[in-house]
Chain A
Amino acid sequence: MSAESDHSVDLDAVLARLRARVDERRASGEYPADLEAELARHAEEVLSRASTERHLDGLAPLAEAVGAARHFALVFDDDDVSSRFPGGVQAHRLITRSAARLDEQVAEALRRHAEADQTLARAVVEEVLDHQRHTHARLDARLDTVADETARLRRQLGATEAVLDALVARIVALEAGAGLRTAGPVADGAGATVER
C-alpha cells in the first residue's frame, strides 16, 4: 500500500512510525518483556480450556446412560407350551422354566456388569472434571493474592491514618496552647462542612 500524491498523510510513513514506536516502548520497558507472548499463551490456555469443556460436558450424561442399564430387565411374552405329543406340554414347561432361569442369570450378570461399568465411568468423569476445576483454581489463587494485597494496603493505610490523627491532635494541642486557629473541619457560610 502506498499513499498517493494528493493525500496529505503518507500512510506508509505512519506505519513505519507505529512499528518504531512499538520498538521504543519495548526497549524502554514500557511494554513488559514478552508481553505479546504472555498474552498469546494466556489466550490459548483460556480458549483451549473452553474447547475441552465442550467435550467434557458430554461425559456425565454418558456415565448416566451406562447407569441406566442397571435397571435392565428381560421381558418375555407368555411362552406357548402346547404340544400335540404325549407329555409334550410338561416337557415344554420344563424347558421353558430352565430357559427362564438361564435368562435371569444372564440378566443378573448384565446388571452387575452395568453397575461396575457405571462405578468406573463415574470415577473417570469425576477425576476428569476435578482436574478441569483445578485450572480454575489458578484463577482463584490469583484472586486470593489480589485480595491479600488489598488487605495489606488497607492495613498500611489504617496505620498511616493513625499517625496522621496523632499529628493533627498534636497540632491542635500546640495551636490551642499558642492561642491560634483551630485545625480540622469547620462550617462554611452555607452551613456545609468544608475541609481546610
Chain B
Amino acid sequence: MTVHQLLVGAAPGDAITNCARWLHQSIAAADPSATINARHIHPDLAHVVDPLDAIDRASADDWVLWHASIGDDLVAEVLARTSARIALLHHNVTPGRFVADLDPTFAAELDHGRTLLDELEPRVERAWADSAFNAIDLVALGYPDVEVARVVGDPTWWDAVDSRPSATHHLDTVVDGPFVLSVGQLLPHKRPELVIESFHVLSTYLVPEAHLALTGSARFPEFAAGLQRLVVELVLDRAWLAGHVPDDELVAMWRRADVFVTCSEHEGFCVPVVEAMHHGVPVVARDCGALGETIGDAGLVLDADAGPELVAEALAAVLGDADLHAELVARGHRRAEVLAAEARAARNRIVDALTGASR
C-alpha cells in the first residue's frame, strides 16, 4: 500500500506544494515508496516531484491524496481512471470570475476545479479541508463527511532561514519610516489595488513617512503593470512592488516590517497571516473568506467591505499606538503557536489515516 499525493502544479514557495512536501516527510517515514506527483513541475523540484505516471501504476490498495485547488484535464483523467482509493485535501478553488477579464482560459480552469470536486464526490473516501471555510464549501458541494485539518499553518520552518545581508542592508538604508508589508500573489481576488489605495490614504493623511512593500509573484504581468501604474499615478514614491522574493529576502522583510496588511476578498486559509504572526508582525485584514478564522482574536479584522479609509486608519492605529502594537504582537505569537500545533496534529491524523499507522 502506497500513498501518492496529486497536485496540478508544484513550484517553490507555493503553499500547496509546501503542504504536500511537509506531509510527505511524515508519510515517507511510514511508507518509503510514497510519491508526490504533479502535472506541472518546476525544474527546481524535479528531484522530489514525479509526473502523473505513478498514479496510473497505483493499485487498488493505494491511496491518491488529491490536493484540490484548480481544474486540469489531465489530472481529471488520471483521477477518473485510477483504481486507487481517493482522498481529498481541499485548499479552496478561487472563483473564476475574479480573473475572467484577464485570462478566460485560467478562469475556466478554476471553475473546472469546482466541477471536478462535484464530479469526484462519489469516489472520494476521505475528505479533509484546511479551514472551516473550505469545509463548508465542500459540504455545500455534497460531501457528507468533511474533517477540518488546518495542515498548512506551521510557520516554524522560517526559524531556519537566515536573512540575506544585502536585503537587510537595503531595508535599513532605504526604509526610513514605518514599514507596511503585504505578502501574497498579485492576483485580482487578493485586491492588491485596495492595499495601494489604503496606503495612499495612510501616507497622504495619516502617516506620511510610512513605506509599503507588496511582495508576491505576478501571474498576470498586465495586472502587475496596472498596479505599478497605479502606484506611479498616485505618486506613492514610498510604495514598492517587489514581486516574488526568495525566502532569505522575505525573512529580512518580515523582520523589518511594522505591520502586515491584506485586503484579500477570497482566502481559503492565508498562510502569510500566520507567517506575520510568527514573525511578530501585527496583522490588519478584512473579514473575508477564511481570514477571520485564521486570525482569530490576534489581529485587527475589519469589516468585509472595509474601504481604504478604514484600512488606513487601522494601519495608523497599529503604527502609532505602542500598546496596541505590543498587544497584537503578543496575541499573534500565541495564535501562531496554536496554529502550528494544530497543523502538526492535523498532519498526524492525515498520515495515520492514509498509512494505517498509529501514533
Contacts and interface: CB of A to CB of B under 8 A. Distances in A.
Interface of A: 1-4, 7-9, 11, 14-15, 17-19, 21-22, 25-26, 30-31, 35-36, 39-40, 42-43, 46-51, 53-54, 139
A139 to B, nearest CB: 7
A22 to B, nearest CB: 5
B222 A54 contact: yes
A22 B317 CA distance: 12
A14 B282 CA distance: 14
Given A31-B309, A40-B197, A47-B226, A3 B233 contact: no
B317 A50 contact: no
B39 to A, nearest CB: 25
Given A4-B297, A46-B226, 6 more contacts: A18-B314, A18-B317, A39-B197, A39-B201, A43-B197, A51-B102
Contacts, number: 93
Interface in B180-210: 193-194, 196-197, 200-201, 205
B323 A18 contact: no
A164 to B, nearest CB: 30
Interface size class of B (residues with CB under 8 A): 35 or more
A31 B296 CA distance: 31
Interface of B: 101-102, 193-194, 196-197, 200-201, 205, 220, 222-223, 225-227, 229-230, 233-234, 292, 295-297, 300-302, 307-310, 313-314, 317, 323-324, 327, 331
Contact of B223 (A14, A26, A40, A50): A50
B310 A47 contact: no
28 contacts: A1-B297, A8-B323, A8-B327, A9-B323, A15-B300, A18-B314, A18-B317, A22-B309, A22-B310, A22-B313, A25-B309, A26-B309, A31-B205, A31-B309, A36-B308, A39-B197, A39-B201, A40-B197, A42-B230, A43-B193, A43-B194, A43-B197, A46-B230, A47-B227, A49-B226, A50-B226, A51-B102, A53-B222
A143 to B, nearest CB: 10
Contacts of A36: 197, 307-309
Contact of A51 (B197, B205, B223, B297): B223
Contacts of A40: 197, 307
B230 A43 contact: yes
A22 B200 CA distance: 15
Contacts of A17: 317
B222 A50 contact: yes
A47 B310 CA distance: 22
Nearest to A43: B193
Which 9 pairs show the lowest CB-CB distances between chains A and B? A50-B226, A54-B222, A47-B226, A9-B327, A39-B197, A36-B307, A43-B193, A50-B222, A18-B313
Given A11-B300, A43-B196, A51-B102, A18 B229 contact: no
A100 to B, nearest CB: 45
